[in-house]
Structure 1
């Protein structure tokens, strides 16, 4: 028989610094940093120059609120998973420094705030896209795909592609083809990035009952899929060359070749059954996306399109 003493108790953070740290943990700042890195180049390319600094700042603030909302609501929905995974046991809801109810209200407030902020500071389309992203990430990916299909991160990763579209919409008030190409770059980047991490922590995912590809498939199959998506990603980056410039073209090709070398090395190791280092590819994937985005931003702000095509 369960008594009051047996019920889980929430250890609310008492010091302001501890409370701030707990709420920052809910929004996952390191994940948001990566999303913002992709937003700025999209805005530069949409403007074909440097947009209003206030518009950029407001879009980043609204985007941070939207991503923070999605991440906080994800923490609420995944509290049971986080509790059994070693990688996530330090999260606020697992440590009971924030209650589930407060985390839920916090996530909903951030979501509503992001819509209003982007609507008032940019345009209605940017605000609507932000809300759609939150809903997709929480309702489709977190509650349905993540726990039910090995393709969870492939289709669920679409939520992480939306910051480029939101950034473009904030500048232009519409969605044009370069924004969709940038969406595709992040879409094809997400599986190699995530599967490399999941190869390292596959026992964690298995313990939590999350059907990530490395949990259900042999390592050689996983690395083969990583190679496939890596080639799709690198090829897709080249579709943006006509709207970008020579700086982007050069860095996209060179960094893409570097990425493919590491992906093929990982696959060769898994086929031979020798110890692998998937986290090397995981960390490199962050660097790769940073290089591509910086090169795109530089070309968009200061260069000329390779073919002079309008964006």
Structure 2
């Protein structure tokens, strides 16, 4: 007599367990998609886009002597943001070899392999192409040419050549950093007046102490990557001298802009904010020359505040 036993019944996971498992997979997919989206956004270097917004809107308001067309403002801001974002994405593609060597940049999407180099290249080209198309369709030839020139200069001249070959890379790179001022003015007026060039000079010279402070902070990073930033290849005295000199030129440019359509409200603000900027630049130079502990990021952050204050007052001035 044999005893036959039935195989045990397998009921499988409970409904709640299965739902939890499915939810977990979906959560991972959403997290992965979110990471990729954030990576593409970071390729555009949003901080650079912020600089564009801070300087372009007030410049357009001054050029229009009030509020320009909201449609024109939207086109220039979107087109400018896409141009800056596209140029930055192409910069990340070109610099992927050195970004992985620097502590400040090694977490960018290409060094961490979140975005493939070819994808970054296509992304940058598409953004740049759309920006130029927008400017060509809705602004004028001068603003469009300036947009194309800015993208080309930043990626082909600065990133591919100047950044890796000369200690004056920050100086020459400042041209594309200050270009949004000219683009905004040209979009409103179709020309470039002395006031536009004065604001261009203000932003151009401002970038030197601003980025030299950052380069001091990340001097070891730049040296490791073989980038000849001034603090890497020049003496402390030389760096201090240039920081102070370009801060003075920044303040001078801000005062040159005063009689070119701006009121005493702007003038007083430029004098006071400029005095603080100069104090910070001289303090950093003095401490550095003495071999004392320095905080270069203090000057870096104040430079941001200085520029924001000045262009906010330019916008206010244009309104009143």
TM score, norm. by length of structure 2? 0.89
1:123-155 Cα deviation digits (max 9, x unpaired): 232122111100000011001100000000001
Q: Which residue pairs with 1:171 in the alignment?
A: 188
Q: Which residue pairs with 1:103 in the alignment?
A: 120
Higher Rg of the two aligned structures = 2
Q: CA deviation at 1:18?
A: 1.5
SS in 1 for 2:110: helix
SS in 2 for 1:253: helix
How do 1:1-311 and structure 2 match up within 5 A? 15-242=32-259, 243-302=261-320
Distance 2:253 2:186 in 1: 21
Q: CA deviation at 1:58?
A: 1.3
Q: Which residue pairs with 1:3 in the alignment?
A: none
**Gaps in structure 1 of 5+ consecutive residues:** 1-12, 303-311
Distance 2:134 2:36 in 1: 25
SS in 1 for 2:115: coil
Q: CA deviation at 1:14?
A: 7.7
Q: CA deviation at 1:221?
A: 2.0
Distance 2:129 2:190 in 1: 20
Q: CA deviation at 1:121?
A: 2.1
1:36-70 Cα deviation digits (max 9, x unpaired): 21001110111011111111111100000000011
What is the number of equivalent residue pairs in this alignment? 291
Asked if the contact 1:119–1:125 (Cα under 8 Å) also holds between the matched residues in 2, the reply is no
Distance 2:151 2:211 in 1: 20
**Gaps in structure 2 of 5+ consecutive residues:** 1-29
Q: Which residue pairs with 2:16 in the alignment?
A: none
TM score, norm. by length of structure 1? 0.91
CA RMSD of aligned residues (A): 1.3
